[in-house]
Structure 1
């Protein structure tokens, strides 16, 4: 019974979250984006920077794809721009007239918006020349490509110079060996030399005896016999007898 109640409460909570998200949260965020000229550009720039830093992108590792993708998103999401990003466009059209950039937002139903951007130039004589919005899209695409290329290059350089982990300082050691250390090294070298020249081969007459003991099922006696005539350890002698 309690399990069913928990399941129903979970689905009720999930539905309530969806209602709050789509019925209240997203419209508020959408309105905030519409009425703030700078937030769209800043949001795209922050997300782009996070992607470059987290994924360690550079010009040899997919940075060009991130620049292209975010430039396209900027062109579509931030077409109208803000007074700061539109300054270069104003300078471009200043010999002709004054730039007029308007964004119309038509709310047909709750949560349904239609946004249209209008680009025009007001000439000194009062004549208004309406331009195709395609020029605005091209300008915004070029602008974001330049911006993200510069920011991406800077972030890639900063991220590339940053080590993955802080280096652990190496402990200071003396280059010269003490007499005690030299004695230990000499003893170890002597031990290894002795071990390498130790008797490993089993004499032929002993091999025949070992084979006979193995046939009779006396493995322990055969292993002991091998160890008596060689310096093999127990495991190696056992393996030797089993492989005969």
Structure 2
């Protein structure tokens, strides 16, 4: 009974979380990003700053790639910009008229949006000169490239002043053995060496028998006899008999 109640509670909490997330949180965030002119640029700036400081990027350490990525994302994600970002463009077109940068957001269905950016110049006589959005993309690309190059240079200087990170991947271990353990190891190695040597030496009587077999031309029985009384391999036993 208790287990069933826990399962039902988990399902209820999960369902409530999904309803809250998709029914209120995500639409609210989407509305903020669609209609707030400053939040998109600020988000990109915060992400860029966090990445550069977190990874210690500088001009000599791949920051150019971060600048390139953020510039392209900013050009596409924040094409219309905000009044502060559009000031330089306003000054450029001021001799011709007043700059008009607009973003049309059409909500066709819940969660379905169509977004289009437009740029135009309103002349003093009321005439509207509509420009291609390509000019707005080009301006935003150059602007973000300059902006994040400057910000990246400042953050790179900060990174160079930060203390170096000390990564200790390997800890040195003192491999010196205690004196009594060293003596035991040395004794064991000596024992093994003596055992190996003993297994390669024939007793005198067996060696005489092997020599007699060799003289009689009985090489194979001689080799077998050597292998019976030693730990020599077949090749080693053959060489041993041939050298007698």
Partner residue, 1:96: 96
Q: Tell whether 2:12 aligns with 1:62.
A: no
Shift in alpha-carbon separation, 1:152–1:99, aligned structure 2, 3 A: same
Shift in alpha-carbon separation, 1:234–1:40, aligned structure 2, 3 A: closer
Q: CA deviation at 1:234?
A: 5.1
Partner residue, 1:38: 38
Partner residue, 1:239: 189
Does the CA contact (< 8 Å) of 2:71 and 2:144 recur in 1? yes
Q: Distance in 2 between matches of 1:65 and 1:18?
A: 37
Partner residue, 1:83: 83
Decide which structure has the larger Cα Rg and report it: 2
The 3-state SS of whatever aligns with 1:61 is coil
Q: Distance in 1 between matches of 2:102 and 2:44?
A: 21
Q: Report how many aligned residue pairs link the two structures.
A: 179
Q: What's the RMSD between the two structures over aligned residues?
A: 2.1
Partner residue, 1:155: 155
The 3-state SS of whatever aligns with 1:243 is helix
Partner residue, 1:113: 113
Question: What is the TM-score with the length of structure 2 in the denominator?
Answer: 0.67
Structure 1 outlier segments of 4+, above 3 Å: 1-5, 232-235
Could you tell me which runs of 5 or more consecutive residues in structure 1 were left unpaired when the two chains were aligned: 167-231
Q: CA deviation at 1:242?
A: 2.7
Shift in alpha-carbon separation, 1:234–1:123, aligned structure 2, 3 A: closer
Q: Distance in 2 between matches of 1:115 and 1:30?
A: 12
